[in-house]
Amino acid sequence: MKKNRLGEFQELILMTVIVLQEEAYGVEIQRDLEARLNERLSVGAIQTALKRMEEKGFLTSEWGESTQKRGGKRKRIYQATPYAHRVLREMKDIRAQLWKAMPELGISKT
Amino acid sequence: MRPSDKHIIPPKWLLRLFIKKKYLEEIEGDMEERFQDNLERYSIRKARRLYAWDTLKLFRPLLMKNIGKDYQLNQYGMLKHNLVLALRNFKRYKTSFLINVIGLSTGLACTLLIYLWVNDELSVDKFHEKDIRLYQVMQNLQYGNGIETQDLTPAPLAKALLEEIPEVEYAVAVNDFFSLGSREGIFSYEDNRIEASGWFAGNDYFNVFSYDLIKGDRDHVLTDKSNVVISERLAKKIFGSTEGAIGETLEWNHSSFSNLFQVSGIFKNLPHHSTAQFDFLMSIEVLLDNDHWAKAWTGNYAETYLILREGTNVPAFNKKIANFLKSKDARLDDEFFNLFVQQYSRKYLYGQYQNGIPVGGRASNVKLFSIIAVFILLIACTNFVNLSTAQASRKMKEIGVKKAMGAKRKVLMTRFLIESILVVFISLLVAFLLVVLLLPVFNDITGKHIQPSFDFNHMLASCCIFILAVFISGAYPAFYLSGFSPITVLKGKFKTSTGGLWLRKSLVVFQFTLSIIFIVGLLIINQQIEFAQTKNMGYNRDNIIKFQWKGTLYNPWNGLRDGKSNIKFDAFMQALKEVRGVVNTTNMSGNILDKIVKQSDVSWRDQDSDRYFLFQSPVVGYDYLKTLGIELVAGRTFSKEHNDDYSKVILNAAAVKHMELENPIGRIIKMNGGSEIIGVVKDFHYGSLHNTIEPLIFRLEPHGRNILARIETGAEKATIKRIKELYMEFLLGYVFDFSFLDDDYQALYASEQRVAILSRYFAAVAIVISCLGLFGLAAFTTERRVKEIGIRKILGSGVFGIVRLLSSDFSKMVLIAIIIALPLSYITASRWLDSFAYRIDLQWWYFIGAGSLALLIACFTVGMQTIKAAKTNPVDCLRNE
């Protein structure tokens, strides 16, 4: 697990890929995330994260349809691997445990 | 998609250039879709900008092609390998490593120091906010013997320009107290009496010049005549701190005017790289009140500074103001008086004018040293090139094996480049250390206040120097070494190609050529300065001290004729004569060494053309000729007994010649309403040797405030102390500043002295570095020919024969260097000497001397190595094979 740890940004993208299902290609992921995070992202940032995760085995990809808007270029549709699902779940559990273990500072003392 | 959108799609070739092929289609598509999205939302321009920004952000190693190849090399591993190899090489060949580092670091240190100096020179007066619009009004005066350019203008000019010429945003008149005789005065506050010197300035001074005001409003600090703006330093001296100084009243005592002033502002101490230096500012109105001549358009009483509005065309502006003075006073004929502006910050480097044409100034020194810096860097880098190509045989096997294993030339080049980068980097660190250590001495020599600092510009410059050094020293060896053919190299039949040898030799020749030029330069500068110091100037400046009477002094134009008298001054002069140790005393207005008073409007044949000739015309007191030892050829000197006054003059021989007078004594010339020539002196050099002796007229005025006293040798200190006591007794609170006339004379050559001292160091550095290189080369050759030497010795060759064999090559190179260097240095030297009106002749021995010196040093360097090699027992070098 240690070697293939997900970065925070990569995790967000991974989850977006799962949410978008068949529509999970570069720009769509970017659009979705930009709306959620409410900030501008660059194509470079998204692409690097996708490629990095594909290298690590979190994602697989295949060519999809091409549109005129893309200047006739095909989309590349990404899909999360079962391994990715497992890692995501593990991370969620770790987070949940940590949340539980945290004393309720700040909230209770107001 | 709109049909017109096609052409606004940004070019895609850029992406294709650097994105990995396998990602290209996807990313191109994404980028385009993104662009179309943005196009719907924003303007075309913004969409394009976002596209460009996104493209820039695609520069990520993961997405980019590997430059050149599409496969991945383990760059890190290679880097580590190369670094280790370089370090091992340094360890193994310590001598060549040390030679490289010592040579390069001294070279780099010199270059850095010169950079710091040049940078400092260039920054002088450049810090003003409105620098590009800050101009000074200059005046060209047309005389019979040429155009005289001066920075003084009439005092009312600033105001008139501001009112009448729309391009002028601000204008101020500035007077640095020069017209008041004495610059220093005394501020008293309670019991505190502090001497200070300041300037008069117009209202907007702080709007024109960006000196920081700690207290006070820059628009109003000088509005009132009773205002004074003082420096932080002065405030601390008077009040102890800058707090509570505003509004306090100071009593001002000066020889020309005394009054009460109110502190209206405090400015930060002026930076070192400001040529303007003053302790306080008063309103220019104070000057106009106290000297009624200053108000006139016919007098030049102030420097005028302007801020021109943005977009002003300066040549057009110059045309506009050229004849401005005539419109104010018809006497200021436009053929004779012409105004023009010069950018203020250029004054420092390019402020010299000759016959109305700018002739540069300090800039020539800046250029000279920049060139020297580049050459020193070149010499230092040359060493590295020489040693690494000469020692190619050491790396032969490595290159051969690597190439046989399939290493590309590029890889090998990287390997050698890394080695040179490392050497240069280490040298740079050593150089930094040297610079920090040497800076105090350097500041001392150059009279600068440079602090070692790590600001961005310095770092950038260091980076540039670093890259330059790496490039010069690393490029050729890397190219050369990586070019060996693996077969020949591995066979061991390696022989240095003649190309490499030729280059190496010419580099040594180049090094020595420069060194010899440096030596010749050094010799000639020192000879000329020696000449200037020992030349008989026609007067005796030994043991003369000079100081100024800072107290009140009346002359015929400001009150002496109205019944005022100089009782105190006369009493002081009388008392001074009686001080033990004082031989002779005299006094004068102005100076005899520099900026001598000049006089036109002299006529001797009743011809109008005479009037436009400009004479040197010092105004001196009694006993002047006697005190300075100026020789009288005819007539007599000024004397009290004859009741001489302003209507008597003494000429120098050049003036008599210029006026073509047969019997000058007793002639009346038209000058100040008729003056009688009572004496003629032999020509003497009044200024520095840069200037020729020009026609000169001595005028008499017994109330000059610059006092000259010749004192007895041997007891100077005690005598000066007695004079000081006397001075303090007469002028309470003033500081007794004195200087020896001889020191003042030396100061005329300050810039030459500086060049002389620096060139001494630079020449030494150049020679040392060159010798280091030669030493390295010699050591290496002897090492390689050790077997040959052994065999030769066995066959009966003597030590001398072997030394000759080994050093003949080097001597030849140095001889060629001498042949090239001599004409070059001859040209440079004569050009430099041309700036002196009186100069040494170039003697043949300067050149021969420099040449032989270089040859001697080279022989010595090589000799040490070769004699050692020649003396080795042949058994030692032939035994192991």
**pLDDT per position as a tens digit, B456-467:** 778 888 888 888
What's chain A's Rg over C-alpha atoms?
A: 17
**Inter-CA distances, B342 with B71, B237, B311, B345, B538, Å:** 62, 36, 16, 9, 38
Cα torsion B458, B460, B466, B469 to 10°: value is -100
Amino acid, single-letter form, for residue B807:
S
Residue of A47, A56, A77 to mutate, testing the B interface (most B Cβ within 10 Å of its Cβ): A47
Distance CA B754, CA A54 (A): 68
Contacts of B58 in chain A (CB under 8 A): 42-44, 47
CB contact under 8 A, B25 and A30: no
What's chain B's Rg over C-alpha atoms?
A: 36
How far apart are the CA of A72 and the nearest CA of chain B, in angstroms? 8
Instruction: Check: CB of residue B226 under 8 Å from CB of residue B285.
Output: no
The pLDDT of B110-129, averaged and rounded, is 89
How far apart are the CA of B29 and the nearest CA of chain A, in angstroms? 5
Residues contacting B491, CB < 8 A, separation 6+: none
How far apart are the CA of B72 and the nearest CA of chain A, in angstroms? 15
How far apart are the CA of A88 and the nearest CA of chain B, in angstroms? 24
What is the CA B490 to chain-centroid distance, rounded?
Answer: 55
Residue B26 pLDDT more than 90? no
How far apart are the CA of A87 and the nearest CA of chain B, in angstroms? 23
The pLDDT of B68-93, averaged and rounded, is 75
Q: For chain B, what's the residue count? A: 881
| Vertex B807: Cα angle to B805 and B812 (nearest 5) | 110
Mapping DSSP to helix (H, G, I), strand (E, B) and coil, where does residue A106 land? coil
CB contact under 8 A, B59 and A69: no
Distance CA B281, CA B296 (A): 22
Distance CA B570, CA B703 (A): 9
| Phi, psi angle pair for B113, to nearest 5° | -60, -45
* pLDDT, mean over chain B: 83
Residues of A with CB under 8 A from a CB of B: 25-27, 30-31, 42-48, 51-52, 66-71, 73-76
How far apart are the CA of B95 and the nearest CA of chain A, in angstroms? 47
CB contact under 8 A, B28 and A75: no
| Phi, psi angle pair for B104, to nearest 5° | -65, -40
Q: Of B25, B33, B57, which has the smallest distance from its Cβ to A44's Cβ?
A: B57
Amino acid, single-letter form, for residue B730:
F
CB contact under 8 A, A47 and B1: no
Contacts of B59 in chain A (CB under 8 A): 44
Distance CA B765, CA B756 (A): 14
Task: Single out the residue of B319, B253, B476, B517 nearest to residue B386, CA to CA.
Answer: B476
Residue A32's pLDDT is what?
A: 92
Distance CA B19, CA B60 (A): 9
Structure tokens at B324: 């401005």
CB contact under 8 A, B58 and A73: no
Q: Where are the alpha helices (DSSP H) in B232-362?
A: 232-239, 284-290, 314-321, 324-328, 347-350
* DSSP-assigned beta bridge partners for residue B669: B675
Distance CA A47, CA A53 (A): 10
Contacts of B36 in chain A (CB under 8 A): 69
Residue of B15, B22, B27 to mutate, testing the A interface (most A Cβ within 10 Å of its Cβ): B27
Q: Helices B409-446 and B392-404 sit at what angle, rounded to 10 degrees?
A: 150
Q: B518-527 in b/e burial notation, b at 16+ Cβ within 10 A?
A: bbbbbbbbbb
* Residue B247 backbone zone (phi > 0: left; psi -120 to 50: alpha; other: beta): left
Residue B71 pLDDT more than 60? no
* Assessment of whether the complete model's pTM goes beyond 0.90: no
Q: Of B1, B34, B59, which has the smallest distance from its Cβ to A27's Cβ?
A: B34
The pLDDT of B613-637, averaged and rounded, is 86
Residue B429 pLDDT more than 90? yes
How far apart are the CA of A15 and the nearest CA of chain B, in angstroms? 20
Contacts of A74 in chain B (CB under 8 A): 25-26, 29
Q: Of A48, A68, A70, which has the smallest distance from its Cβ to B63's Cβ?
A: A48
Contacts of B63 in chain A (CB under 8 A): 44, 47-48, 51
Kindly tell me the number of DSSP H helices and DSSP E strands found in chain A: 4, 2
HSE (side-chain half, CA atoms, 13 Å) at B229: 33
Residue B427's pLDDT is what?
A: 92
* Cβ burial, residue B128 (10 Å; 0-12/13-18/19+): middle
CB contact under 8 A, B32 and A71: yes
How far apart are the CA of B58 and the nearest CA of chain A, in angstroms? 4
What is the CA B739 to chain-centroid distance, rounded?
Answer: 25
The pLDDT of B828-850, averaged and rounded, is 83
Residue B2 pLDDT more than 50? no
Question: Do strands B697-700 and B619-620 pair parallel, antiparallel, or not at all (unpaired)?
Answer: parallel
Tens digit of each residue's pLDDT (9 = 90 or more) over B520-575: 888 888 888 888 878 888 888 888 898 988 887 777 666 666 767 788 888 888 88
Distance CA B867, CA B807 (A): 10
Tens digit of each residue's pLDDT (9 = 90 or more) over B718-776: 899 999 989 888 887 788 888 888 888 888 888 778 878 888 888 888 888 888 888 88
Amino acid, single-letter form, for residue B559:
G
Residue B430's pLDDT is what?
A: 94
Q: For chain A, what's the residue count? A: 110
Residues contacting A75, CB < 8 A, separation 6+: A25, A26, A63, A64, A65, A66, A67, B26, B29
Distance CA B659, CA B649 (A): 14
Tens digit of each residue's pLDDT (9 = 90 or more) over B336-352: 788 889 899 888 888 88
Residue of A43, A51, A61, A75 to mutate, testing the B interface (most B Cβ within 10 Å of its Cβ): A43
Q: Of B9, B25, B31, which has the smallest distance from its Cβ to A43's Cβ?
A: B31
Contacts of B15 in chain A (CB under 8 A): none
Distance CA A74, CA B673 (A): 102
Q: Of B33, B58, B59, which has the smallest distance from its Cβ to A70's Cβ?
A: B33
Instruction: Check: CB of residue B80 under 8 Å from CB of residue B742.
Output: no
Residue B500's pLDDT is what?
A: 64
Instruction: Check: CB of residue A59 under 8 Å from CB of residue A81.
Output: yes
Distance CA B669, CA B606 (A): 9
- CB-defined contacts A:B, below 8 A: 73
Tens digit of each residue's pLDDT (9 = 90 or more) over B318-377: 888 888 888 887 777 767 788 889 899 888 888 888 777 887 777 888 888 888 888 888
| Phi, psi angle pair for B573, to nearest 5° | -60, -40
Amino acid, single-letter form, for residue B746:
Q
CB contact under 8 A, A47 and B59: no
Task: Strands of B734-783 (E only): list them.
Answer: 738-740
Contacts of A71 in chain B (CB under 8 A): 9, 28-29, 32
CB contact under 8 A, B36 and A69: yes
Residue B495's pLDDT is what?
A: 56
Task: Single out the residue of B362, B420, B356 nearest to residue B387, CA to CA.
Answer: B420
Residue A1's pLDDT is what?
A: 44
* DSSP-assigned beta bridge partners for residue B267: B213, B231
Structure tokens at B213: 């005001």
Residues contacting A63, CB < 8 A, separation 6+: A74, A75, A76, A77
Mapping DSSP to helix (H, G, I), strand (E, B) and coil, where does residue B59 land? coil
Residue B433's pLDDT is what?
A: 93
Instruction: Check: CB of residue B666 under 8 Å from CB of residue B677.
Output: yes
Distance CA B122, CA B369 (A): 13
Residue B8 pLDDT more than 70? no
> Would you place residue A3 in the very low, low, confident or very high pLDDT band (cuts 50, 70, 90)?
low
| Vertex B801: Cα angle to B800 and B806 (nearest 5) | 100
Question: Do strands B706-711 and B357-358 pair parallel, antiparallel, or not at all (unpaired)?
Answer: unpaired
Instruction: Check: CB of residue B230 under 8 Å from CB of residue B238.
Output: yes
Q: Of A26, A45, A68, which has the smallest distance from its Cβ to B26's Cβ?
A: A26
CB contact under 8 A, A45 and B57: yes
How far apart are the CA of A47 and the nearest CA of chain B, in angstroms? 8
The pLDDT of B282-299, averaged and rounded, is 84
CB contact under 8 A, B25 and A69: no
Instruction: Check: CB of residue B553 under 8 Å from CB of residue B565.
Output: no
